[in-house]
Amino acid sequence: MTEAAASSRSGSGALTKEAIGTAARRLFARQGYAATSVRAIAAEAGADPALVIRHFGSKERLFLETVAIEGRFDHVTSGPLESLGARLVESLLTEAPELTFSTWRAMLRATDSDLVRSRLIAAMEEMFIEPLAPRLSGPDPELRARLVAAAISGLLDAVAILADRLIVEASVEQLVDLYGRSIQALVDG
């Protein structure tokens, strides 16, 4: 094989992998993990199902590589603690909420997979517990940081999974005020 042919094939492989990743992200967000098959992803990407496995190893690994939530709140959790509750809620509800909600739905629906569940737990650790626990003063800082993560998870569930009518129809300002104060109580200790 000539060098030009090898380069063309590797470039084509990268494009195929990218197309598979794009298709997977779209289908996982729309249908969830369980309802999305490797064959459906391959068809959406215009690729052979064997290429999905060759590029990603398994459906689980493809899911984990294409549906990411880490880093979502870094800019908020590194800011001032005095207003953290309101800023977390506001960020959740106003900064790319549909992407956040579809990603959350996809991750939650896939928690029957041990690998996915471990990744979700690690993401919550990275997004909330690790940046917050060392900064919280007063008693039980790690427990309080975990409860902040649980509170954000609960709001995500109410909006993205359950579509609780009263919560969904409430104004962002009202949710930032009410829910933000409850999270702030955990932060303040």
Q: What is the pTM of this model?
A: 0.76
Please check whether residue 141 is in contact with residue 125, taking contact to mean a CB–CB distance below 8 angstroms.
Answer: no
Exposure of 151 by Cβ count < 10 A (0-12 exposed, 13-18 middle, 19+ buried)? buried
Q: Give me the count of residues in the chain.
A: 189
Positions in the chain whose pLDDT score sits under 50: 1-11
Residue 64: its pLDDT value, please?
A: 81
List pLDDT tens digits, range 57-84.
Answer: 988 889 888 877 767 799 999 999 999 9
Is 33 in a helix, a strand, or coil?
coil
> Domains (ranges, CATH) in the chain?
3-66 (1.10.10.60), 74-188 (1.10.357)
Query: Tell me, what's the pLDDT at 12?
Result: 59
CB half-sphere exposure, 98, CA atoms < 13 A: 2
**Cβ–Cβ < 8 Å for 69, 160:** no
